[in-house]
């Protein structure tokens, strides 16, 4: 009997762990993902020096048969990268993905079809995907992501580690602070998502050389 009670106490005190997000299951806060366009400034911080990299545009569109996220990076060297990602409404189950690169008059197009892959989400839509999760104090999510053209799909964990109020484009914003190590122990990437909208306000990640890569919401 004593051992039975010890087992019960151990189970009760054990960590619940990360929620495993399954592909094809409706996401709790998909209504947070709104149609519209937002821009972020990407720059590199090295000590007190900030060096701009590009303007990052993300546009969400509702389609008759699903949803679409279009992305564009306009760099300071006149290079342009564009992505077109399509997925099922309510579940974020990916369908197709296209990458277009333009540089010095040369245009390359790469197409990806997720139908041939094991069940996975598109890593290129991670910012909107996080918007659709039930963020709260202590929440953790384990997500199977695949980066089109990259290595095999893998699970990544995001954790809500606290709350912070930071400056946004129109003043102070109360945010959830999330972190992930992208499966690289010892590294950490931080995401500040507005509590009211779960929109990304800021992201910071430390590069191997110690420089900090920053994405800051413009509008």
pLDDT in tens, 79-128: 899 999 999 999 999 999 999 999 888 999 999 988 877 899 999 999 99
Determine the average pLDDT of the residues in 30-58: 97
Q: What percent of the chain has pLDDT over 70?
A: 93
Determine the average pLDDT of the residues in 139-153: 95
Identify the residue with better confidence: 16 or 164: 164
Question: What pLDDT is attached to residue 6?
Answer: 34
Proportion of the chain in helix, strand, coil states, percent, rounded to 5: 10, 55, 35
**Residue 161 backbone phi and psi in degrees, to 5:** -100, -5
CB within 8 A of 205, min separation 6: which ones? 187, 188, 189, 190, 212, 213
Whether 156 contacts 21, CB under 8 Å = no
pTM for the predicted model, two decimal places? 0.90
* E-only strand ranges, 15-170: 19-21, 36-46, 49-63, 66-75, 80-87, 94-103, 106-113, 121-122, 140-146, 154-168
Taking phi first (over 0 means left), then psi (-120 to 50 degrees means alpha), and beta for anything else, what does residue 24 get? left
pLDDT at 175 over 80: yes
Question: What pLDDT is attached to residue 16?
Answer: 60
Identify the residue with better confidence: 59 or 10: 59
Determine the average pLDDT of the residues in 133-148: 97
Identify the residue with better confidence: 118 or 183: 183
pLDDT at 78 over 90: no
Indicate the range of 76-90, 165-179, 190-204 predicted with least confidence: 76-90
Q: What architecture (CATH level 2) is domain 17-217?
A: Clam (2.50)
- Domain limits of the chain? 17-217
User: Tokens representing 105?
Assistant: 């008059």
């Amino acid at each position: 009997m004593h051992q039975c009670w010890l087992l019960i106490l151990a189970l009760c005190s054990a960590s619940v762990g990360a929620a495993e997000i399954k592909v094809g299951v409706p996401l709790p806060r998909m209504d947070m993902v709104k149609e519209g366009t937002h821009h972020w400034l990407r720059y590199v911080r090295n000590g007190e020096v900030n060096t701009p990299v590009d303007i990052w545009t993300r546009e969400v569109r509702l389609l008759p048969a699903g949803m679409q996220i279009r992305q564009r990076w306009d760099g300071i060297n006149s290079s342009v990268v564009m992505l077109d990602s399509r997925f099922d409404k309510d579940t974020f189950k990916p369908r197709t993905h296209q990458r277009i690169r333009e540089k010095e008059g040369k245009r390359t197009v790469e197409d990806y079809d997720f139908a041939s892959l094991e069940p996975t989400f598109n890593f290129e839509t991670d910012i909107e995907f996080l918007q659709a999760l039930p963020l709260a104090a202590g929440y953790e999510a384990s997500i199977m992501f695949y980066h089109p053209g990259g290595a095999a799909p893998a699970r990544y964990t995001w954790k809500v580690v606290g709350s912070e109020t930071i400056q946004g484009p129109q003043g102070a914003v109360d945010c959830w602070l999330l972190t992930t190590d992208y499966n690289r122990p010892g590294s950490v990437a931080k995401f500040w998502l507005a509590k009211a909208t779960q929109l990304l306000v800021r992201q910071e990640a430390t590069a191997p050389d110690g420089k900090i890569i920053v994405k800051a919401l413009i509008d």
